Amino acid sequence: MSAQRDAWGETLVEIAGVDQRVVVVDGDLANSTKADLFAAAHPERFVEIGIAEQNMVGVAFGMSTLGYRPWLSSFAVFLTHRALDQVRMLVSQTRANVKIAGSYSGLLNGSSGKTHQDIEDLAIMRAMPGMTVLAPADEHEMRAATRWAAEHDGPVYLRIARDAVDPVFGASDVLDPTSPTVIVEGHELTIVSTGVQTSRCVQAVELLRERGLDPRLVHVPMLKPVDGPALLDLVGSGPIVTVEEHSIIGGLGSLVSELVAESGRGGPVLRIGLDDAWSESGPSGFLLDKYGLSPRRVVERVLRWRS
Amino acid sequence: MENLSPRTSAELEELARRARWLVLSTVAEAGAGHIGGPLSQMDLLLSLYFNHLRIDPADPAWADRDRFVLSKGHSAIGLYVTLALRGYFPESELATFDQGDSRLQGHPDMRLLPGIDASTGSLGQGLSVGAGMALAAKKQSRGFHTWVVLGDGESEEGMVWEAAYAAARYGLDNLTAIVDRNGLQQFGWPVGPGDRGDRRDPWAGADLAGIFRGFGWNVVEIDGHDLGQIRRSYEAADAARGVSGSPTVILAQTVKGKGISFTEGTYKWHNGIATIEQLDLARAELGVDLVQAGAGR
């Protein structure tokens, strides 16, 4: 079991071995994001910019106009918040081939606390016209998503988790990171999740089964563009629970609610995530429990909602 | 690259009068747009595009062209007029400025208008972009030069200084920043130490040249309306490429609204719409002949 950041760093090294257009532009966090693997393997295509995220984005965009496909290496929060205007004006507006690798996303960032957590990245990037938004479930899907993003023509936001999670997929599975997919079949209700929260939801589904429920689990690796009809088919017409390591505003919960509301069928929808709340520093298990994202807490919430 | 003989100072002055008229009249016709910044940078832009940049208006995407980034994107109309005069598109297209379905957006859009190397608008971002282009050129062993025009007001943005540090750190002697020091911004600062009390000088009391030198840049200070000084500063910046190991900044002292009596030296003409009477006055001052200027304008 390895973490998504490792899978991202290793995959990028492999891609760059055959694609000379790939460069990494780093904001002094390569040894956290695992872009240091790239720096060691392809030093001539590793650009250190220091602690200056806005300049990072500008330099990467400038390089992209010369045919490079730069990947930004930093924490998600600095790319989607501090450098938001740069991402918006230089990268998204121009449809530049800049790939935004938002590492240490969500709550779990090694106890750095709320200043370094990013629970709004999906909302912000979803709202940005033309931005592709990916949130893979585990290390295997991270490899597939990284390869997909590298080939894709245009800007991509890739949500990367710091901590390892139990794999959802097998190492030899052929994965399509663009399509929503059923992870566990079931009836009665559908749990929809994204990113590494899907791994925790696999455990939640097992616990719910022990309690006599028969939920389906649907994973959404690409939040934008999203195949709405396909996702609606997968979630069915019964009750829906969305779960995300993210604010319940603007991310997966909003996406599913929008689709269901427009379709006129399905629901009701329960959104599990950060409910307009700031988190804090703490061990990963503590944070997941306190903010309702651990398998046990997801189960409690679903049972309470269904009773 | 096309073969174009250098314009004499007299020819550039003639072009500049015409360009200033086109800025004022196009904005008046559009009913919206900036005046002061486009006029202050005009001599710098025309000198660059007519006598210096290695470009080909017939092939705007030519891979080895010199790059140009207008970081102060709100001065777009000045760039559009320059590009039109230089042959990138017909002068008549200026009439579409700021209108719907136009390639001439309020701020430069590289996806719409060939000849724009980078989209800008939100201030302070162009120097980073130019640094990225110059860094990529070094990595690809390409010999072109990258030019970025910054405003002095714009340089209050912190990102400019992130870029200034990194550009020097990477020894980007194929990068030149031109700071259009027109001394005014949209509204300006209240009266304070080092200030003349008339909302002037974004960098009052600060040694801008010293700051760039401190970062390791070559610094050239010029009168941004003196064509000889402009030419020599551009030649110096070009000559530094591959030699000096440092980027060059040209601090060009300019007059906001330069060339038209009522727009000169006031923040109130940062943007504005000239009246019929003002247009007549400007045309007379600039000596632009009616037929040549387009009688309908």
pLDDT in tens, A153-193: 999 999 999 999 999 999 999 999 999 999 999 999 999 99
Interface test with A, best of B154, B162, B169, B175 (most A CBs within 10 A): B162
Chain B residues touching A85 at Cβ < 8 A: 122, 125
**With an 8 Å Cβ cutoff, are B119 and A94 in contact?**
yes
Given a cut of 60, is residue B293 above it in pLDDT?
no
Query: CA–CA separation, B79 vs B45, rounded Å?
Result: 7
> How is the beta sheet containing A132-134 ordered, strand by strand?
A46-48, A22-26, A69-75, A99-103, A156-159, A132-134, A222-224
Cα B99 to the center of its chain, rounded Å:
22
Q: Before A268, cis peptide (omega within 30)?
A: yes
Given a cut of 80, is residue B200 above it in pLDDT?
no
Q: What is the mean pLDDT of chain B?
A: 93
Query: What is residue A89's predicted lDDT score, i.e. its pLDDT?
Result: 98
Contact A234, A179 (CB under 8 A): no
Provide the CB-side half-sphere exposure for A233 (13 A, CA).
Answer: 9
DSSP collapsed to 3 states, chain B: CCCCCCCCHHHHHHHHHHHHHHHHHHHHHHCCCECHHHHHCHHHHHHHHHHCCCCCCCCCCCCCCCEEEECCHHHHHHHHHHHHHHCCCCHHHHHHCCCCCCCCCCCCCCCCCCCCCCCCCCCCCHHHHHHHHHHHHHHCCCCCCEEEEEECCHHHCHHHHHHHHHHHHCCCCCEEEEEEECCCCCCCCCCCCCCCCCCCCCCCCCCHHHHHHHHCCEEEEEECCCHHHHHHHHHHHHHHCCCCCCCEEEEEECCCCCCCCCCCCCHHHCECCCCHHHHHHHHHHHCCCHHHHCCCC
Superfamily of domain covering B9-293: Thiamin diphosphate (ThDP)-binding fold, Pyr/PP domains (3.40.50.970)
Q: What is the CATH number of domain A181-306?
A: 3.40.50.920
Q: CA of A67, closest CA in chain B: separation in Å?
A: 9
Query: What is residue B11's predicted lDDT score, i.e. its pLDDT?
Result: 96
Of all residues in chain A, the one with the smallest CA distance to B148 is: A62
Cα B252 to the center of its chain, rounded Å:
11
Query: What is residue B3's predicted lDDT score, i.e. its pLDDT?
Result: 65
pLDDT in tens, B107-165: 999 999 999 999 999 999 999 999 999 999 999 999 999 999 999 999 999 999 999 99
Of all residues in chain A, the one with the smallest CA distance to B109 is: A94
- With b for 16 or more beta-carbon neighbours within 10 A and e for fewer, the A48-86 pattern comes to bbeebbbbbbbbbbbbbbbebbbbbbbbbbbbbebbbeb
Given a cut of 90, is residue B294 above it in pLDDT?
no
Q: How confident is the model at residue B188 (pLDDT cuts 50, 70, 90)?
A: confident
Please tell me which of the candidates A54, A60, A90 has its beta carbon nearest to residue B162: A54
Q: How confident is the model at residue B292 (pLDDT cuts 50, 70, 90)?
A: low
Query: What is residue A292's predicted lDDT score, i.e. its pLDDT?
Result: 98
Q: With H, G, I as helix, E, B as strand and everything else as coil, classify residue A274.
A: strand
Q: What is the CATH number of domain A4-159?
A: 3.40.50.970
Query: What is residue B194's predicted lDDT score, i.e. its pLDDT?
Result: 60
Chain B residues touching A89 at Cβ < 8 A: 119-122, 125
Chain B residues touching A90 at Cβ < 8 A: 118-119, 125, 129
Contact A28, A51 (CB under 8 A): yes
Q: How far is CA B135 from CA A28, A48, A49, B12, in A?
A: 18, 12, 12, 32
> Percent of chain A, pLDDT > 90?
97
Compute and round to an integer the Cα radius of gyration of chain B. Answer: 18
**With an 8 Å Cβ cutoff, are B165 and A52 in contact?**
yes
Q: Closest by alpha carbon to A58, among A35, A27, A16, A31?
A: A27
Q: Is A100 exposed, middle or buried (0-12, 13-18, 19+ CB in 10 A)?
A: buried
Of all residues in chain B, the one with the smallest CA distance to A84 is: B122
Residue ranges in chain A whose pLDDT is less than 50: none
Q: Closest by alpha carbon to A165, among A136, A185, A127, A192?
A: A136
Query: CA–CA separation, A169 vs A167, rounded Å?
Result: 5
Chain A residues touching B131 at Cβ < 8 A: 55, 58-59, 62
Q: Is A288 exposed, middle or buried (0-12, 13-18, 19+ CB in 10 A)?
A: buried
Given a cut of 50, is residue B297 above it in pLDDT?
no
Cα A148 to the center of its chain, rounded Å:
14
Whether A10 is a known active-site residue: answer no
Chain A residues touching B140 at Cβ < 8 A: 66
A76's CB contacts (< 8 A; 6+ apart) are A102, A103, A104, A105, A106, A118, A121, A159, A160
Please tell me which of the candidates B121, B137, B163 has its beta carbon nearest to residue A58: B163
What are the domain boundaries of chain A? 4-159, 181-306
Asked, colleague to colleague, whether A4-159 and A181-306 share their fold, the answer is yes
**CA dihedral sign of residues A180, A181, A187, A189:** negative
pLDDT in tens, B211-248: 999 999 999 999 999 999 999 999 999 999 999 999 99
Query: What is residue B275's predicted lDDT score, i.e. its pLDDT?
Result: 96
Query: CA–CA separation, A271 vs A249, rounded Å?
Result: 9
Q: Which of A10, A44, A48, A53 is catalytic?
A: A53
Q: Closest by alpha carbon to A120, among A221, A245, A246?
A: A246
Contact A240, A269 (CB under 8 A): yes
Query: What is residue B197's predicted lDDT score, i.e. its pLDDT?
Result: 58
Chain A residues touching B159 at Cβ < 8 A: 52, 54-55, 58, 86
**With an 8 Å Cβ cutoff, are B159 and A86 in contact?**
yes
Count Cβ atoms below 10 Å from residue A214 Cβ, excluding itself.
13
Q: How confident is the model at residue B296 (pLDDT cuts 50, 70, 90)?
A: very low
Query: What is residue A200's predicted lDDT score, i.e. its pLDDT?
Result: 98
**With an 8 Å Cβ cutoff, are A59 and B163 in contact?**
yes
Please tell me which of the candidates B67, B110, B135 has its beta carbon nearest to residue A47: B135
Of all residues in chain A, the one with the smallest CA distance to B111 is: A94
Please tell me which of the candidates B111, B125, B139 has its beta carbon nearest to residue A58: B125
**With an 8 Å Cβ cutoff, are B129 and A85 in contact?**
no
Q: CA of B290, closest CA in chain A: separation in Å?
A: 39
Query: What is residue B295's predicted lDDT score, i.e. its pLDDT?
Result: 38
Query: What is residue B198's predicted lDDT score, i.e. its pLDDT?
Result: 64
